[in-house]
Structure 1
Amino acid sequence: MDAETIQPLLKSLGEATNAISADVLAVDGGVPLVAWGSASEAGVRGESLSEMRQAIRDLTAKAASNNGRGGVQESSVPGFGLLAHAVRHAEFVGGVCVVRGDDQPWEDNDRTVLAMAADMCESVMQAGNVTSEHGRRLDALVSYVAAELMGISAVELPETTYRILGELGRFFDVDTCFLRRNDPGLKASVLVDEWPRRPDVPDPDPLGIVPWDTDDPIFARVRDLKEPYFVRPGDHRDEYQERVASAAGVQDVSAATVPLLRGDVTFGVLGFVHFGDRMWSRQEVHALNAIASLLTQLYGRVSAEERLHYQAYHDELTGLPNRRAFVEELSAILDKEPEVPLALMFADMDRLKTVNDVLGHAIGDMFIKAVAKRLRESVRPDDIIARLAGDEFVIALRGISSSERAERVARRLLNQLTEPLDVGGHVVSRSACVGISINGPASNGVDDLLGNADVALLEAKKRGGNTVVSFNDELRWQLLDRADLEFRLRSAIGDGEMRLHYQPEFDLRSGQMTAVEALVRWQHPERGLLSASAFVSVIEEINLSAELGRWVLEEACRQLAEWKRTASAATPPSVRVNISAGELISADFVGFVGTLLSRYGHAPAELGIEITESTVMRDVDDVLATLMGLRRLGVTIAIDDFGTGYSSLSHLKQLPVDILKIDRSFVSTLADDSGDRAIVSAIVRLAEAFNLTTVAEGVEDPSAVAALLGLGCHRAQGFLMSEPLSAADIATWLDNPGDYLGSK
């Protein structure tokens, strides 16, 4: 069906009859073969549109019945009139149907114009010398190609492309067909595939990469080709004929080249070559254009998929494989050979945050890219390197089965990494640490190797910069111990395994108890009573700090109420609880504290909150807001371990603090160290200036008591007076009050 010629006829017919659409349909079809206008664009929707289309099909079939002698046929649907006339040519049986969007009757002139248009359509079909059967085969070919290309992936693309080229070559009875792509970098047309593949390809292949800057008439055009281009023997395309003759050994060929267009950009061509002369009908060219469009859509989709795949498996900043790619590649290696000799190195640059803070994140990113480049250049091509996150890199070294050899490689890498780098005009140098794990019978896949190397890296960072540590049995036991703690801690709070011990605080002048500090302990089912230092870091890592902190607060308030109820004499003036940064700025922390005070009947001054200097400085604004809320409740606030950083000195004036607890590191050698005495004296004077109370921590020697009293610090806690006691021991003590200085 020569649509380019017939459609203008339909347009003239529609305008002459004041129609909204004019279609040529086959009786056994239903979808217009050629169309002008659209009932749907004219506002027909839903059931009305379906009814109209069925009426068009029925009327066309009626007009084409009785060998087309039915003449002009009329029909209508509500609000529309239909007029049809038969069209027959060779094996084609169908008709032309026009639709008018009003109830006006058809005039004789409308019928005459329609009959003339039908005759002209038949003439065009006859002149086109294309049978309806060949037209159907072309339609079927386009449908086949569309179905073949639908849903294929980048991996399947080469095989599918070759198969499609073969089908096209056989269908059009050509001797070879090809697919080429434009390469702006090479400024050339590059052969993607050809059918059939030449058994003897010259080297170099004159058809492999052909520069755009050439005298060849076809290859000079492919860069910007927008319409199909044809070559036939004798039309003075000698350069092309010579190129084909040199590559395939064939003289005098016909060629058809169809562009693959993405918008206004030609990114390739689909080509056909026939040995000898061949003409291409308009309908065949239409089919080739449709197939080229399908290939364009396919390559666009595959290209997008490849970009997404690259992004999913590569680090955006450095271009290195990311964790996902690394894990999948290493897993494939270990699945094939579980005990393959292999060392895994986990490398971490030290203090990258300082670079970002001082020089800016742009310089920090440039530094990371430079480090990645050095790593790539320092390992072998078959080694695997990836960036996991931030300043963390991982390298899998093939063929290494001993820690000693891996450590030698790691130290060589450290020497490379720590060499100063010129980054954006700044000389940047960072130390680094490396953790190593060796594949072997004791490891169980990628997760084990990464986990072991991570543990070794943490140990290396503890020891200081430019350190290499290999995972060993000692670290393995530490890892197992931590895993056991993590597993059990997740249920320990709810299972009632946590305990509170209380360390008394005393007035050094009178010996009277002034407060108790609640200290959490874990009654481990197998290891017995564990102090906080054995598990609190794990609590923080598994995000249980808030849950444990609220349990400690409530248990301390409950126990204080119990002491009040049962003690026959004095009760602790107050109980103090250590609060982490996360707890302090958690949602409605002030409200939670107020609820506890109300629930257990405590005066606000009976509860003290202790925070460290680092907690104060982490989120000053949020911390200040929470502390002001606690101050409004009347709760006592103490800064614990004061003096270790001096970072909060500038904030003391605005912080609602009542007590400064002097860190034990200044108290332990107070009697003998003039420097410590000067620091403690300064803290005491500072507290006096702000009308704050000072409490010394870690008092273990009588000489420290005398020194503290001499400096004006009158409160203290430490093993000299009492170690932390259970709630029952505190109750016993309360029932037998006295001077307990030195009793523990």
Structure 2
Amino acid sequence: MGMDPETIHPLLKSLGEATSALSADVLASDGSVPVASWGSATEAGLRGAELTTMRDAIRELTSRVSAPDAADASAQTSIPGYGLIAHPLRTSNFVGGLCLVRAEQEPWTDNDRTILQMAARLCGSVMDSGDTAREHERRLDSLVSYVASELMSISAAEHPPTIARILEDLGRFFDVDVCYLRYNDPELRASVLVDQWPRRTEIPDPDPLGVVPWDTNDPVFRGIQNLREPYIARPGEETTNYQERVHAGSGVPEVSMAMVPLITEQTTRGVLGFVHFGDRVWRRSEVHALKAIASLLTQVDGRVIAEEQLRHRAYHDELTGLPNRRAFVDDVTAILKEDSEAQVAVLFVDMDRLKTVNDVLGHAIGDMFIKAVAKKLRESVRPDDLVARLAGDEFVVMLRGVSTSENAEHVARRLLDNLTHPLDIGGHVVSRSACIGISINGETSSTADEMLRNADVALLEAKKRGGDTVVSFNDDLHWRLLDRADLEFRLRSAIGDGEMRLHFQPEFDLRSGDLTALEALVRWEHPERGLISAGAFVSVIEEINLAADLGRWVLEEACRRLADWKAAADAKPPPVVRVNISAGELISTDFVGFVGTMLSRYGHAPKELGIEITESTVMRDLEDVLATLRGLRRLGVTIAIDDFGTGYSSLSHLKQLPVDVLKIDRSFVSGLANDSGDRAIVSAIVRLAEAFGLTTVAEGVEDPSAVAALLELGCHRAQGFLMSEPLPADEISRWLASPRDYLGSK
């Protein structure tokens, strides 16, 4: 058989274009690699299993039309989306067919069949005119080009089926009985079978061909580790051990073989091998072609390895090697997609106070502790359960076969017992408590994201209750979650839509009854729920990063109202209006400048504006807070510490802070008349304030007996429901016009 590619390829191209085909292939009857081709299924977008189906259909159709008993006529078939037609192609030394593929949009016509028949005859005439040896070399060139086109741009997911398909094509092309790919594994110090064609139907256990150590008395496998050049072995005494191993693995007593190394940067990564039952001579041109194919496989391996490494990093936590959030959600989603009623539970695990470990022992020990926790989690669940690390000290576990909260809680408590057991980490004994939130598929969750979110909500509830606590997501938490989601959705536009309101609670001098200040308190005029106090939505405001926007609105609205009261002819304005400031606002770089702008815009003296901060806010970012407070002091604004006595400030810190007022927390004031402990605390705070030259204000005064106790202890200012609840700005305006109503009006 002979063939001139420069003649055949234009012929196939003309045939393809005349019939609107995607590809045209000349194949031998054994369905091996095409003798000549035009077009490509891969260029048409086929990948993976679809491409394998296409190749199998072409081979089957070619074999059918070229069978000895087949009529000398065209035959056709189809696969989803594509139609195939083939015509026999026979010459003096070639039996095969000419096959066309096109998108399945219209049936093959008589004209198509006539054109195909004429092309087959022309191909046959060209193939009969050449030299057999030269033709074999041309077919080898076509083989290398074919393998290159198959491997072009395949992904890591497409790599295994593509390799399987190429091994089959190579095996058929070279007329061998086995074609295989083996990789070297440096950790195992062995050669590992990756794939082979044809697949063995019966594999011994253990498989003598599966994993073969380099340290063996078999010279063939011993040499695989550092093989640099193609290796040919034929039946003979020098390959006795190899022959015995192959016989044990396949049952064939005598074989010849060829192996070509896959080399990357002077390292032998593996071998591409061929086995022929009995003796076979390998031509030099065939070996050169195999070296080229081995080089192509090596290049693809490098690309696929790099892609797999990138994918692994994208889907795994770098520190622990566990799957990350993306991988966890994808895996759970796949499970629920396969069975929406799958018995699945998600456990959200959070280790308590990991920051302390990092601060005291260092981040290296903290990382070792996290890795140890990951290992314990993985060892504490079944192999088919999922464990992932989300971030920091947060892990999630998916349990299979768990359908009730009770069963999930039983597993969760066992996990807690294992996790909280002291660990020896780098010579340090480390023990942390933990909390777990649980969500069950089908109860209140139906997707991976919902299960993860609901388990997170349950975890937050567990953390509120304290360490080593397990909480399952339930209807109560579900409605609270919906309520919070509604608040978040509406809060994002509430400030701009003018739904926020300011109420003001008066502060009085208990001796004279004079008004000493007004505290601005934000309220939300919810379109459906009515007036909502700050305690119900401020935490949500902080979580969605709107605290600064709200805080600036409150500050400007308070300044505007104060300006209105000062301008009213019939009202005596309050000496000072106090505004509560969040931690985020306090450490923002331009906060002092914004306060100065508001004072200037509304014409207020600095002493007429008070800023209130909590003890916990001060201690969170002490250095940054100090810088802001000193800036406010330079402006002349008064500063009060709210809820004093409940935070963590020490005397040394109090001495540093440029504050003017300590507001005693209501928890110490409510039982002042009857609780000696509260009296002692309030007395100590008053004495402390006196020592630092500060004013004290008691919060939450609701009983006349508390007033007498406060006066006795030396605290002369107070606010609370006994005197007045927080009132809308308009009502405060009317009240300021009637000073006789201040104290004792209730």
- Which category of TM-score, normalised to the shorter sequence, fits these structures? 0.7 to 0.9
Assess if the C-alpha contact under 8 Å between 1:500 and 1:521 holds in 2: yes
2:339 aligned with 1:337: yes
Number of the residue aligned with 2:559? 557
In structure 1, distance between residues paired with 2:692 and 2:719: 22
Assess if the C-alpha contact under 8 Å between 1:616 and 1:648 holds in 2: no
| Aligned partner of residue 722 in structure 1, secondary structure | coil
In structure 2, distance between residues paired with 1:277 and 1:413: 62
Number of the residue aligned with 1:149? 151
2:450 aligned with 1:448: yes
Indicate how the Cα distance of structure 1 residues 248 and 731 shifts in structure 2: closer, same or farther if over 3 A, else same.
closer
Assess if the C-alpha contact under 8 Å between 1:315 and 1:387 holds in 2: yes
Indicate how the Cα distance of structure 1 residues 235 and 411 shifts in structure 2: closer, same or farther if over 3 A, else same.
closer
Assess if the C-alpha contact under 8 Å between 1:342 and 1:438 holds in 2: yes
Number of the residue aligned with 1:594? 596
2:279 aligned with 1:303: no
Assess if the C-alpha contact under 8 Å between 1:720 and 1:741 holds in 2: no
Once the two structures are superposed, the pairs formed by residues 531-546 of structure 1 within 5 Å of their partners are 531-546=533-548
Number of the residue aligned with 1:623? 625
| Aligned partner of residue 407 in structure 1, secondary structure | helix
The residue identity in structure 2 corresponding to 1:599 is R
Match of residue 267, structure 2, among 265, 268, 271: 265
Assess if the C-alpha contact under 8 Å between 2:457 and 2:477 holds in 1: yes
Number of the residue aligned with 2:39? none
| Aligned partner of residue 511 in structure 1, secondary structure | coil
Assess if the C-alpha contact under 8 Å between 1:722 and 1:742 holds in 2: no
Number of the residue aligned with 2:391? 389
The residue identity in structure 2 corresponding to 1:537 is S
| Aligned partner of residue 516 in structure 1, secondary structure | strand
In structure 2, distance between residues paired with 1:201 and 1:710: 95
In structure 2, distance between residues paired with 1:470 and 1:328: 23
Number of the residue aligned with 1:187? 189
Match of residue 294, structure 1, among 296, 303, 320: 296
Per-residue deviation at 1:283?
4.1
Number of the residue aligned with 1:655? 657
2:598 aligned with 1:608: no
The residue identity in structure 1 corresponding to 2:598 is L
Number of the residue aligned with 1:689? 691
Match of residue 514, structure 1, among 505, 513, 516: 516
Number of the residue aligned with 2:531? 529
The residue identity in structure 1 corresponding to 2:386 is I
Q: What is the identity percentage for the equivalent residue pairs of Structure 1 and Structure 2?
A: 77
TM-score normalized by the length of structure 1:
0.78
The residue identity in structure 1 corresponding to 2:471 is V
Structure 1 residues 518-527 or 545-554, which shifts more? 518-527
Indicate how the Cα distance of structure 1 residues 378 and 618 shifts in structure 2: closer, same or farther if over 3 A, else same.
same
In structure 2, distance between residues paired with 1:235 and 1:403: 68
Structure 1 residues 423-432 or 238-247, which shifts more? 238-247
The residue identity in structure 2 corresponding to 1:604 is P
Assess if the C-alpha contact under 8 Å between 1:258 and 1:292 holds in 2: yes
Number of the residue aligned with 1:165? 167
The residue identity in structure 2 corresponding to 1:637 is I
In structure 2, distance between residues paired with 1:295 and 1:170: 18
Per-residue deviation at 1:597?
1.3
Structure 1 residues 132-141 or 495-504, which shifts more? 132-141
The residue identity in structure 2 corresponding to 1:313 is Y
Per-residue deviation at 1:273?
3.3
In structure 1, distance between residues paired with 2:648 and 2:255: 89
The residue identity in structure 1 corresponding to 2:543 is E
Number of the residue aligned with 2:110? none
In structure 2, distance between residues paired with 1:247 and 1:715: 95
Assess if the C-alpha contact under 8 Å between 2:261 and 2:270 holds in 1: yes
| Aligned partner of residue 651 in structure 1, secondary structure | helix
Number of the residue aligned with 1:477? 479
In structure 2, distance between residues paired with 1:187 and 1:666: 73
The residue identity in structure 2 corresponding to 1:140 is S
Per-residue deviation at 1:381?
2.9
The residue identity in structure 2 corresponding to 1:609 is I
Number of the residue aligned with 2:116? none
In structure 2, distance between residues paired with 1:605 and 1:555: 17
2:677 aligned with 1:675: yes
**C-alpha deviations, 1:523-547, integer Å up to 9, x for none?**
1222221111111111111111111
The residue identity in structure 1 corresponding to 2:605 is A
| Aligned partner of residue 218 in structure 1, secondary structure | helix
Q: Identify unmatched segments of 5+ residues in structure 2.
A: 8-130
Assess if the C-alpha contact under 8 Å between 2:412 and 2:470 holds in 1: yes
In structure 2, distance between residues paired with 1:175 and 1:332: 39
Once the two structures are superposed, the pairs formed by residues 46-125 of structure 1 within 5 Å of their partners are none
In structure 1, distance between residues paired with 2:342 and 2:250: 48
2:337 aligned with 1:328: no
Assess if the C-alpha contact under 8 Å between 2:444 and 2:475 holds in 1: no
Q: Identify unmatched segments of 5+ residues in structure 1.
A: 1-25, 29-128
Indicate how the Cα distance of structure 1 residues 677 and 202 shifts in structure 2: closer, same or farther if over 3 A, else same.
closer
In structure 2, distance between residues paired with 1:245 and 1:667: 93
Indicate how the Cα distance of structure 1 residues 735 and 141 shifts in structure 2: closer, same or farther if over 3 A, else same.
same
Per-residue deviation at 1:648?
4.8
The residue identity in structure 2 corresponding to 1:261 is I
The residue identity in structure 2 corresponding to 1:294 is L
In structure 2, distance between residues paired with 1:700 and 1:142: 92
Assess if the C-alpha contact under 8 Å between 1:567 and 1:734 holds in 2: no
Once the two structures are superposed, the pairs formed by residues 211-250 of structure 1 within 5 Å of their partners are 211-234=213-236, 236-248=238-250
Match of residue 467, structure 2, among 465, 468, 472: 465
| Aligned partner of residue 655 in structure 2, secondary structure | coil
**C-alpha deviations, 1:457-487, integer Å up to 9, x for none?**
2222222222222222222222222222112
Assess if the C-alpha contact under 8 Å between 2:616 and 2:648 holds in 1: no
Match of residue 635, structure 1, among 628, 634, 637: 637
Indicate how the Cα distance of structure 1 residues 553 and 250 shifts in structure 2: closer, same or farther if over 3 A, else same.
same
The residue identity in structure 1 corresponding to 2:210 is G
Structure 1 residue runs of 4 or more that deviate by more than 6 Å after TM superposition: none
The residue identity in structure 2 corresponding to 1:142 is V
Structure possessing the higher radius of gyration over alpha carbons: 1
Indicate how the Cα distance of structure 1 residues 225 and 516 shifts in structure 2: closer, same or farther if over 3 A, else same.
same
| Aligned partner of residue 225 in structure 2, secondary structure | coil
In structure 1, distance between residues paired with 2:155 and 2:262: 19
In structure 1, distance between residues paired with 2:434 and 2:245: 59
**C-alpha deviations, 1:272-327, integer Å up to 9, x for none?**
33455555454443322221111111122222222222222223333332222221
Number of the residue aligned with 1:209? 211
Indicate how the Cα distance of structure 1 residues 238 and 466 shifts in structure 2: closer, same or farther if over 3 A, else same.
closer
In structure 2, distance between residues paired with 1:235 and 1:404: 69
In structure 1, distance between residues paired with 2:197 and 2:405: 54
The residue identity in structure 1 corresponding to 2:406 is E
CA RMSD of aligned residues (A): 2.7
Counting matched residue pairs gives 620
Indicate how the Cα distance of structure 1 residues 466 and 168 shifts in structure 2: closer, same or farther if over 3 A, else same.
same
Number of the residue aligned with 1:359? 361
| Aligned partner of residue 609 in structure 1, secondary structure | strand
| Aligned partner of residue 652 in structure 1, secondary structure | helix
The residue identity in structure 2 corresponding to 1:475 is L
Per-residue deviation at 1:500?
0.5
In structure 2, distance between residues paired with 1:246 and 1:527: 80
Indicate how the Cα distance of structure 1 residues 230 and 323 shifts in structure 2: closer, same or farther if over 3 A, else same.
same
Indicate how the Cα distance of structure 1 residues 255 and 601 shifts in structure 2: closer, same or farther if over 3 A, else same.
same
| Aligned partner of residue 316 in structure 1, secondary structure | coil
2:703 aligned with 1:708: no
